[in-house]
């Protein structure tokens, strides 16, 4: 088995700290949308980094989980970037970002129905055809349950993965936030999704916000705060339930702490995974002993 890896989302503000700490960062995740319009020199710079450290490209704006057919021109731009940078993998979200001429401007959860499973699968297949590799698809956080949903989030994700053949980029803070806001058990969610198809994991932090009338609290996934201990707990749980190597990316989008604090969070993620792996090994050993005794 390959080793579990832990890395960081590439942000220009963190560049100096990242380059000083490459011995403690296994992988970088680069936001594709920031580079699709980049000039040749900028792409070469990124390709140069990719020679020193593994890179994943993470796309935000494709809206692959929408009913609209994803625009070929958007995928061709990602394909050119993938050709230039040669990342290990690329990913996008289980979200829609536009509908017809309406641009939402960010990730939105579509109504979870068999029709949206079908539309997402169609778009993932088109993306794979044009870009040349199947994207990993990430579960998103939402503050509102989309109307008309007939499937649970877990069933919807499992349906898309099964029909499209894509892997899952499991965002554990998104899962934690949704579980908190909508009152479901994140461990039951993990029971329902095909964990053997998880390759990448996102961890991040968030904060509590109130509704405008101040009467209801929500956990917002804002990537501006330290990772909650509950998220490390979920990471340990996933590590204990999976056999394949996992790649964990810490996402931080602002309010940057000193680099040692981010590196400490990466170390905490490694520790959480090791704890999960140890638990798995102990369970397997106990299972073998039971089988031998039988």
Give the interface segment with another protein, choosing from 204-212, 241-249, 260-268, 277-285 (CB under 8 A): 204-212
Of these, 1, 41, 291, 293, which contacts another protein (CB under 8 A)?
Answer: 41
For 155, the token pair is 């069933």
Find out whether 131 and 79 touch, Cβ atoms under 8 Å. Answer: yes
Site membership for another protein, residue 211 (CB under 8 A): yes
Which of these segments, 136-144, 157-165, 185-193, 244-252, binds another protein (CB under 8 A)?
136-144
User: Among residues 4 and 221, whose Cβ is nearest to another protein?
Assistant: 221
212 binds another protein (CB under 8 A): yes
DSSP 162: H
Task: Provide, rounded to whole angstroms, the least separation between the CB of residue 254 and another protein.
Answer: 9
Rounded Cα–Cα distance for residues 284 and 294 (Å): 15
Q: From CA 179, how far away is CA 141, in angstroms rounded?
A: 9
Closest to another protein by CB, 25 or 119: 119
Interface stretch with another protein, choices 74-82, 129-137, 216-224, 234-242 (CB under 8 A):
216-224
**Residue 35 contacts another protein per CB under 8 A:** yes
- Residue with smaller CB distance to another protein, 82 or 248: 82
Residue 60, SS3?
A: coil
Residue whose tokens read 């806001």: 181
Using CB under 8 A, pick the residue from 129, 216, 278, 287 that binds another protein: 216
Asked if 96 is part of the footprint of another protein (rule: CB under 8 A), the reply reads: yes
Q: Which helix (H) or strand (E) holds 206?
A: strand 206-210
Residues 158-187 contacting another protein, CB under 8 A: none
CB 50 within 8 A of CB 31: no
β-bridge pairing 102-108 and 136-138: unpaired
Backbone angles phi, psi at 217, to 5 degrees: -105, 145
Residue ranges in 236-265 that form contacts with another protein under rule CB under 8 A: none
Pick one of 100, 183, 258, 294: the residue that binds another protein (CB under 8 A): 100
Helix/strand/coil for 33:
helix
218 binds another protein (CB under 8 A): yes
> How many Å apart are CA 233 and CA 107, to the nearest integer?
26
Q: Report the alpha-carbon distance of residue 175 to residue 189 in Å, rounded.
A: 8
> Is residue 73 at the binding interface for another protein, with CB under 8 A as the rule?
no
Which part of the chain contacts another protein (CB under 8 A), choosing from 34-42, 167-175, 191-199, 230-238?
34-42
DSSP string, 142-189: -SSPPTT--S-HHHHHHHHHHHH---EEEEHHHHHHHHHHHT--HHHH
Single out the residue of 5, 24, 38, 225 in contact with another protein (rule: CB under 8 A). Answer: 38
Computed over its alpha carbons, how large is the radius of gyration of the chain?
19
Across 205-221, b (16+ Cβ under 10 Å) vs e yields bbeeeeeeeeeeebbbb
Total residues in contact with another protein, by rule CB under 8 A: 47
- Under the rule (CB under 8 A), what is the footprint of another protein? 12, 15, 33-35, 37-39, 41-42, 44-45, 48, 66-68, 96, 98-100, 102-106, 108, 110-111, 113, 115-116, 119, 142-148, 209, 211-213, 215-216, 218, 220
């Amino acid at each position: 088995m390959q080793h579990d890896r832990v890395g960081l989302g590439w942000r220009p503000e963190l560049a100096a700290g990242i380059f000083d700490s490459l011995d403690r960062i296994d992988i970088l995740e680069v936001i594709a949308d920031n580079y699709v319009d980049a000039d040749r020199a900028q792409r070469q710079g990124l390709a140069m980094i990719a020679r020193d450290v593994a890179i994943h490209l993470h796309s935000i704006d494709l809206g692959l989980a929408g009913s609209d057919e994803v625009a070929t021109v958007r995928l061709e731009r990602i394909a050119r970037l993938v050709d230039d940078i040669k990342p290990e993998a690329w990913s996008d979200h289980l979200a829609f970002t536009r509908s017809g001429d309406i641009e939402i401007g960010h990730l939105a959860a579509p109504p979870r129905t068999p029709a949206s499973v079908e539309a997402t699968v169609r778009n993932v297949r088109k993306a794979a055809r044009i870009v040349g590799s199947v994207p990993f698809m990430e579960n998103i956080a939402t503050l509102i349950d989309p109307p008309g949903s007939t499937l649970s989030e877990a069933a919807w994700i499992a349906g898309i993965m099964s029909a499209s053949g894509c892997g899952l980029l499991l965002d554990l803070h998104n899962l934690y936030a949704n579980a908190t806001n909508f009152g479901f058990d994140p461990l039951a969610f993990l029971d329902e999704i095909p964990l053997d198809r998880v390759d990448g994991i996102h961890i991040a932090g968030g904060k509590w916000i109130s509704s405008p009338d101040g009467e209801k609290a929500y956990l917002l996934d804002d990537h501006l705060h330290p990772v909650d201990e509950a998220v490390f707990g979920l990471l340990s749980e996933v590590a204990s339930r999976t056999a394949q190597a996992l790649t964990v990316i810490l996402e931080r989008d602002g309010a940057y702490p000193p680099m040692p604090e981010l590196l400490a969070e990466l170390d905490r993620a490694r520790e959480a995974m090791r704890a999960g792996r140890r638990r798995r090994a102990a369970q397997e050993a106990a299972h073998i002993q039971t089988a031998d005794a039988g």
